A and B are shown apart, each in its own frame.
Chain A
Amino acid sequence: MKLIFVIPLMIACSNVQAQTLFMAYKITGKVFQIKKGQQISFKTGNYLNENDSIIVGPNSSVVFICNKLSLLELSRQQLYPLKKFTSSCKSPANSYAAEYFAYILEAFGKVHDKPEEHRKKYMNNLGGIVRGDCGGITFENYIDSVRYCFGNFSLRWKLLNTVGTASIVFNSTTSERPAFSLPVKNNSFSVSNLSKEGLTEDAYTWKMNIAGVNDCQEKYFELWSKTEFDKLITHIEKNFDEKLQKAEKNYRIGFYLERMHFFSEALYYYQKALKLSPSNEIYEKTSLLVAKTYKLY
């Protein structure tokens, strides 16, 4: 009689033991887990089991450590049911020949350098934990606080989860107006669209909303009217010497604006300075650097 209870228990235990666990070790690009038909992002250190499937996006890859035994790297753009890889998680002692041939396949064509002889090439291993993102989203430093009036400027970030379900939410800091939410399809959001969408001049906080992924804190954004912006420029100009050349005046306005996080507007004034004095190397280099740093293209 006891066997009736013991046998299913043994079967259950053996099943638990047989379960293959895949721990995400390194994720590059867009890699998602499929759960109940939905794409869900996962992080380094998360465990997946053999019943899970993953999707590896273009130019992306994932490395798993399966059952704390072996590394498994998936880098082709396709759907992978993890069940397919359970055999590669067995102890290598069981199949030395299989391990050897797997090694041949992996290693053939890969030249092993001596890292000590080419240190510059092999100094990419960081011995410290990296902090500075939230829940799989890494924001560009400078977008912590942005002021904007005109020009081509985008809020940018890198995110690992699906871009289809993300939205950006703006909340006014001065009034009780309801939150302003817009869907995000790429890894950037052009703020020049805000006025078209009905957002008026105000100070806002904004954050990314991605279901079940992150609880990022808010960032700061000011939308300026042209009238107010012109007032600011007049105020800046008041501080300049009257004898100052026009090109230099524009360059300095650009500098002040950049410091105030008016990025696209700063570029406008740097370029204006360059137009007035095309041979000036500093104006040229600054314009290029500002366009590159803040990705103003």
Chain B
Amino acid sequence: MMKYLFIRDTIFATIAAFLIIAAFKFIPLNLHIFDPVKAAFSDIQFNDLAFSKIKKEEKFDENIIIINVDTAKRKDIARLLTTVSNCNVSVIGMDVLFLDSSTSNMADRMLGNVMNSTPNLVVAEKLIWVKGKPLVQNYYVSEAHNTGYANFIGEEKGVIRSYSPFEKDSLVVHKSFTSAIMEMADINNYHALEKRDNEIELINYKRSTENYMVFDWLDVLDNKVDAALLKNKIVLLGYIDNTGFNIADKHYTPLNKDFIHKKVPDMDGVIIHANILSMIMANQFIHKMPNWLNFLLAVFLTYLHIAIFVNYYINNHKWLHVRFIDIVAIQFLLSIIFISVGISLLRLNYYFDFTLPLYAIMLSLYVLYFYEGFTNWIKKKYNFKTIFSHSNH
């Protein structure tokens, strides 16, 4: 094998493998449909497996308390805000989007006034892009002291794996809902997030609804929740589905227990925000391998594979045909090893996207056939020197 490690054909065949992958990327069709593995794992990243099966944290995060606003109207929410702010909480995060007025001017004003007199409140808003510039939509933009956009990143009905902590244009820096909360709750953690300077952050999901303390808004108003419990905590006011059927603010996440056939969205938006806050506070960010390193690793692994296959292609081609199924099985096994490595890395909060090396390795054997045909053609026409010839067969 060593003999073929440093020859020109191995280098060219590796380049060919990547060129073919690049060509597939530009075909405007979803060619994954012919891949049964992809079909079964539609909108699944192998790393989701790590989240759904391995990463679950059973402990409560006692720094965050969630109050379910359920069907509370604006005047009820105003009363709730007053009650909660009297409990000396650290920050109140209002994960309810008021995009326009309600049907009661009085209730609108009442809530606006309470927002205005609550300096440690962060109100969620909607971020939209207009001609490439970020704009926010929020009915209470002038009343609220602090605001943050509640948008996540993901396809429609797709899995939410990441969010954007900040969005900047030439004049303004828009903070995400969780970034704005963190700025008030713990400035050091906020600076740590800012220092990372990432356009997107992968969400380190560790907890579901059962791992946060959730109270009903009526219980809080009726003084059934001890005020001492809320003291110095981050209190999120949001919508939690108690029935299991209401999907008003529900999203698909990698914690979905039914991780292959994701059928019903599994997590309320406010719990996703809570997971982000837990991640920032525990400094458990997911470190993504840089794209260049990912690419170099993919090139290196593909190069090794091509060298092995060139060896068999030239010296024992019959074996290659006879043991074709075995070779595919070996490739599949290698893929599983890579996936396992990826999952192990994710446990250490390190994310390695092994899609590219996986595809390159899977393609490497087929590329050799294509490469042989092509080199034989240019050999005839331009006297190109290659170790491949039809006599190998």
Contacts and interface: CB of A to CB of B under 8 A. Distances in A.
Interface of A: 23, 25-26, 44-45, 63, 65, 68-71, 92, 99-100, 103-104, 107-113, 115-116, 119-120, 122-134, 138-141, 144-145, 216-220
A122 B154 contact: yes
13 contacts: A26-B157, A70-B263, A71-B263, A103-B39, A116-B161, A122-B155, A125-B153, A125-B154, A127-B124, A127-B150, A127-B177, A130-B99, A131-B98
Contact of B153 (A44, A111, A112, A116): A116
Report which residue of B33, B108, B124 has the largest number of chain A beta carbons within 10 angstroms of its beta carbon: B33
Interface SS of chain A: helix, strand, loop or mixed? mixed
Contacts of A122: 153-155, 158
A100 B37 CA distance: 10
A75 B290 CA distance: 41
Contacts of B74: 131
A258 B158 CA distance: 43
Interface string B261-301: 10110000110110000000000000000000000000000
B245 A132 contact: no
B42 A107 contact: yes
A144 B95 contact: no
B158 A115 contact: yes
Contacts of A124: 151, 156
B247 A65 contact: yes
Report which residue of B36, B95, B129, B155 has the largest number of chain A beta carbons within 10 angstroms of its beta carbon: B155
Interface of B: 28-30, 32-34, 36, 39-40, 42-43, 69, 74, 95-105, 108, 124, 126-127, 129, 132, 139, 150-158, 160-162, 164, 177, 199-200, 202, 238-239, 245-249, 251, 261, 263-264, 269-270, 272-273
Contacts of B270: 127-128
Given A44-B247, A132-B101, A144-B105, A127 B263 contact: no
Nearest to A140: B100
Contacts of B247: 23, 25, 44-45, 65
A103 B29 contact: no
Nearest to A73: B157
B129 A120 contact: yes
Nearest to A103: B39
Interface SS of chain B: helix, strand, loop or mixed? loop
Given A112-B30, A145-B105, A132 B129 contact: no
B80 to A, nearest CB: 13
A96 B62 CA distance: 43
A63 B234 CA distance: 35
B112 to A, nearest CB: 13
A109 B30 contact: yes
B251 A125 contact: yes
B199 A23 contact: no
B239 A109 contact: no
A281 to B, nearest CB: 19
B238 to A, nearest CB: 6
B248 A129 contact: yes
Report which residue of A68, A126, A138, A141 has the largest number of chain B beta carbons within 10 angstroms of its beta carbon: A126
A260 B359 CA distance: 64
A219 B104 CA distance: 8
A63 B263 CA distance: 12
Report which residue of A68, A130, A134 has the largest number of chain B beta carbons within 10 angstroms of its beta carbon: A130
Across the A-B interface, the 4 shortest Cβ-Cβ residue pairs: A127-B269, A217-B103, A129-B239, A132-B100
A126 B98 contact: no
A116 B247 CA distance: 24
Nearest to B134: A120
B124 A107 contact: no
Contacts of B154: 115, 122, 125
A23 B30 CA distance: 29
